[in-house]
């Protein structure tokens, strides 16, 4: 053949298709540009140059002429075009070539395990044995300047970080591949990726917004304290890059103060973007909306409740639609951020290189799941040390991440963190706005009937419980007018929760009677301000977060927080352990119940109890260097699931506009704009409930992995998803 092509273009003659040599060189140059940010541009360049060598094969070129999607090799019957370059890398560079082989062989199928039972014949070691895939290429027709290269002289800083380094190089490769393909297939779309303002243009917008906000504040004391916190954050932003902690009491304005730190720090140290990571999907929208109010279209909001299956998503349109975080301000979830850092899929990993040289704010950091804590802290240290990432660990209840070593326990944690607030204990005392009432008897539960009678005596009150069924029980038992009483749980879709939360806020502003029964979803980022809060016994951090919804604006001399023992049990496991430790600490009624030193004791004991379960699934072992570059990327990715997909499954519900969007979904399929809208109408159900409803036809699968509600009666305008009143849940499936 006189010419070889990487991609066809429907409706255009063959001569105008995407030339393979051009695609290889352009992808290599773009990948190099990305990886230069962390000193590894030559490695990414070479991976880009060789990633599609297999497209020189006669079989691939014939298939491309016959089928527009021939390059999607993960589909049955398609030509394997990625293994050839991986084989060439190993033949050229021996063991060092394995680094390239992971990247090249995985640029469609995902980063593989070197050799494990779970990978089987798809393991990298097995694929590299198919040497004929490279030998059968028309080598004489491949330009010499592409096929013959020397090993890059750049070296990575520490072998302990090789696994993350390979994943970052992989990110550079797949993003470059996506973008170069997009520039050919959709040049108009490619143009829309440009035009974001730089961070130095965002800082004046933020400063102007804060001046207006402070001028409108109606509480002199709280406003003074928030202004002090803001000033301290700005002053500390000139400190060299570090892993910072920001310990600010609930209601202290830490969201905006952390953004002030991030913007000023980014300006001083030439950081590329700010990534704001939030634990719950239920509150990401309001944070993103607040930032959009300040920065307009410079903010990208990225989270996903509905994940289209690999089989369906491998199309030209959906691949090019994946987010790569190339914007100045990103607002995302802990699930999206951390699962991407341990993912093996190209769609998830594509964004990772854009984390380099950024400021990352981890909001409500105490909510990081203990069973993944060691892998998460490993990733934070690597990103800070080797990729110029500044972290801000922001919370009112700072977890005990300092290293700790004992005879039977070794927690590496995070050494040398830097606190932004000069004196967190003094600040805590200044913000002390509540009295915590602990029952004399911490063993005897209160009956639901007695609790509802007690709650009903207060015109405005928030009651936070541990389980969804407790929440429903209390709500349905509440006496009086139901228009005064509200229910909040994760069985309500995001749009429904947002609507109810806004109603509650407006009623509180208007001083109307407002009684709310909620699960713990209100304890992070929902800025309620109640005079009275009831909290079921739980971990000390959860109790403090609930207390943060009481007298938040300091309008009362003291708000009142009542701890109670519910008749139901907290499910076994981490949450019960946290509650038991909280129980012991609450029993000691000397001193300040919610002082920072108590949180230190709480988290130290909690992590000590976990022991080896801080890496419950041995993920760090899968990614540990062994001298032979034998990593298990696929295994680690399958284990690292912050949301246990084996326990729950999503369904799209027909709440309000959701019904219309479901009809669009049936007709149009999972278009990107539509899936983003549908995220607001998703409820995650226990897996056995999901399976039961599917079997009954109450929910159906309209596209692979996408389920919709059919029976409209199952969604209740007050309680959310209600498949049947008599449904019995397992205890550990009722959290949140």
pLDDT at 434: 92
- Which tokens is 27 given? 């992808």
What separation in angstroms does the CA of 401 have from each of 172, 370, 434, 494, 599? 31, 11, 27, 32, 11
Q: Are strands 460-464 and 532-536 parallel, antiparallel or unpaired?
A: parallel
Please state, for a pLDDT cut of 70, what percent of the chain lies above it: 92
- pLDDT tens, residue by residue, 166-225: 999 999 999 999 999 988 888 777 677 767 888 999 999 999 999 988 887 766 777 888
What ranges make up the beta strands (E) of 334-431? 359-363, 390-395, 404-406, 409-411, 418-419
CA nearest neighbour of 138 among 9, 15, 20: 20
3-class secondary structure, 245: strand
pLDDT at 317: 33
The pTM of this model reads: 0.89
Q: Is 76's pLDDT higher than 70?
A: no
Give the span between the Cα atoms of 531 and 533, in whole angstroms: 7
Q: Is 83's pLDDT higher than 90?
A: yes
pLDDT band at 313 (very low <50, low <70, confident <90, very high): very low
Please state, for a pLDDT cut of 90, what percent of the chain lies above it: 60
- Phi first, then psi, for residue 5 (nearest 5°) are -125, 150
CA nearest neighbour of 322 among 367, 292, 352, 286: 352
- pLDDT tens, residue by residue, 90-142: 999 999 999 999 999 999 999 999 998 888 888 999 999 999 999 999 999 99
Q: Is 395's pLDDT higher than 60?
A: yes
pLDDT at 120: 85
Burial per residue of 419-450, b for 16 or more beta-carbon CB atoms within 10 angstroms, e otherwise: ebbeebeebbebbebbebebeeeeeebbebee
pLDDT at 324: 85
Q: Is 34's pLDDT higher than 90?
A: yes
Q: Which DSSP string do the residues of 114-171 spell out, in sequence order?
A: SS-TTTGGGSHHHHTT-THHHHTS-GGGS-HHHH--PPP----S-GGGHHHHHHHHHH
Strand partners, 25: none
- pLDDT tens, residue by residue, 505-562: 999 999 999 999 999 988 877 889 999 999 999 999 999 999 999 998 888 889 999 9
Cβ neighbours of residue 468 under 8 Å, at least 6 residues apart?
A: 489, 490, 491, 519, 729, 734, 735, 736
Give the span between the Cα atoms of 467 and 569, in whole angstroms: 9
Contact 442, 583 (CB under 8 A): yes
Give the span between the Cα atoms of 703 and 650, in whole angstroms: 13
pLDDT at 70: 63
Q: Considering the domain 433-591 in this protein, what is its CATH number? A: 3.40.50.300
pLDDT at 322: 41
pLDDT band at 645 (very low <50, low <70, confident <90, very high): low
Residues of the chain with CATH 3.40.50.300: 199-304+324-426, 433-591
- pLDDT tens, residue by residue, 415-453: 999 999 999 989 888 888 899 999 988 889 999 999 999
Contact 335, 303 (CB under 8 A): yes
pLDDT at 139: 92
CA nearest neighbour of 203 among 359, 12, 367, 430: 359
pLDDT, averaged across the chain: 88
Fold for the domain defined by 199-304+324-426: Rossmann fold (3.40.50)
pLDDT band at 454 (very low <50, low <70, confident <90, very high): very high
Give the span between the Cα atoms of 25 and 18, in whole angstroms: 12
């Amino acid at each position: 053949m006189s010419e070889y092509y990487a991609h066809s273009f429907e409706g255009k003659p063959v001569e105008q298709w995407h030339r393979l040599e051009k695609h290889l060189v352009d992808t290599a140059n773009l990948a190099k540009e990305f990886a230069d940010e962390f000193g590894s541009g030559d490695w990414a360049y070479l991976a880009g140059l060789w990633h599609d060598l297999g497209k020189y094969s006669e079989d691939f070129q014939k298939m491309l002429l016959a089928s527009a999607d021939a390059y999607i090799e993960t589909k049955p019957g398609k030509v394997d075009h990625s293994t050839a370059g991986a084989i060439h890398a190993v033949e050229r560079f021996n063991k060092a070539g394995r680094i390239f082989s992971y990247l090249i062989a995985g640029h469609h199928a995902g980063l593989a395990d070197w050799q494990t039972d779970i990978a089987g014949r798809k393991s990298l070691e097995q694929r590299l044995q198919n040497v004929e895939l490279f030998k059968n290429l028309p080598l004489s027709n491949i330009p010499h300047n592409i096929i013959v290269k020397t090993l890059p002289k750049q070296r990575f800083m520490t072998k302990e970080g090789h696994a993350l380094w390979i994943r970052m190089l992989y990110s550079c490769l797949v993003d470059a591949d996506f973008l170069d393909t997009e520039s050919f297939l959709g040049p108009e779309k490619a143009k829309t990726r440009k035009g974001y303002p730089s961070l130095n243009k965002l800082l004046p917008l933020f400063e102007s917004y804060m001046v207006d906000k402070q001028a409108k504040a109606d509480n002199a004391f709280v406003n003074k304290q928030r202004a002090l916190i803001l000033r301290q954050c700005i002053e500390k932003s000139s400190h060299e890059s570090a892993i910072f902690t920001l310990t600010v009491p609930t209601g202290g304005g830490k969201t905006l103060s952390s953004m002030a730190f991030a913007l000023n720090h980014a300006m001083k140290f030439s950081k590329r973007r700010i990534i704001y990571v939030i634990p719950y999907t239920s509150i990401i929208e309001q944070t993103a909306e607040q930032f959009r109010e300040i920065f307009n279209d410079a903010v990208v909001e990225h989270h996903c409740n509905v994940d289209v299956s690999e089989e369906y998503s491998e199309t030209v349109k959906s691949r090019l639609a994946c987010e790569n975080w190339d914007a100045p301000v990103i607002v995302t979830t802990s699930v999206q951020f951390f699962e991407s850092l341990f993912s093996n899929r190209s769609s998830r990993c594509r964004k990772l290189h854009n984390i380099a040289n950024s400021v990352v704010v981890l909001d409500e950091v105490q909510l990081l799941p203990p069973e993944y804590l060691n892998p998460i802290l490993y990733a934070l240290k690597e990103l800070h040390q080797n990729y110029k990432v500044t972290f801000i660990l922001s919370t009112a209840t700072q977890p005990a991440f300092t290293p700790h070593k004992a005879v039977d326990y070794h927690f590496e944690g995070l050494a040398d963190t830097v606190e932004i607030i000069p004196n967190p204990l003094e600040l805590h005392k200044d913000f002390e706005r509540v009295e915590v009432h602990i029952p004399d008897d911490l063993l005897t539960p209160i009956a639901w009937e007695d609790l509802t009678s007690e709650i009903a005596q207060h015109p405005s009150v928030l009651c936070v419980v541990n389980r969804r069924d407790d929440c429903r029980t209390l709500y349905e038992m509440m006496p009086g007018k139901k228009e005064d009483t509200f229910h909040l749980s994760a069985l309500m879709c995001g749009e429904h929760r947002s609507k109810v939360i806004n109603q509650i806020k407006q009623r509180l502003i208007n001083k109307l009677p407002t009684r709310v029964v909620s699960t713990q979803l209100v304890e992070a980022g929902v800025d309620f301000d109640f005079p009275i809060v009831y909290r079921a016994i739980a971990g000390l951090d959860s109790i403090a977060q609930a207390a943060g919804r009481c007298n938040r604006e300091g309008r009362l001399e003291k708000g009142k927080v009542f701890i109670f023992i519910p008749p139901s049990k907290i499910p076994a496991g981490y949450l019960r352990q946290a509650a038991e430790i909280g129980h012991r600490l609450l029993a000691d009624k000397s001193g300040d119940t919610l002082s920072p030193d108590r949180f230190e004791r709480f988290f130290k004991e909690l992590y000590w109890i976990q022991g080896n379960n801080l890496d419950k699934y041995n993920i760090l072992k899968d990614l540990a260097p062994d001298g032979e570059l034998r990593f298990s990327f696929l295994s680690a990715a399958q284990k690292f699931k912050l949301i246990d997909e084996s326990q729950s499954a999503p369904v799209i519900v027909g709440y309000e506009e959701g019904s219309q969007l479901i009809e669009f979904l049936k007709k149009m399929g999972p278009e990107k704009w539509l899936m983003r809208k549908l995220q607001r109408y998703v409820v995650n159900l226990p897996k056995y409930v999901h399976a039961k409803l599917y079997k009954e036809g109450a929910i159906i699968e309209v596209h692979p992995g996408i389920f919709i509600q059919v029976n409209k009666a199952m969604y209740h305008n007050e309680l959310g998803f209600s498949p049947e009143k008599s449904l019995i849940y397992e205890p550990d499936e009722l959290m949140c």
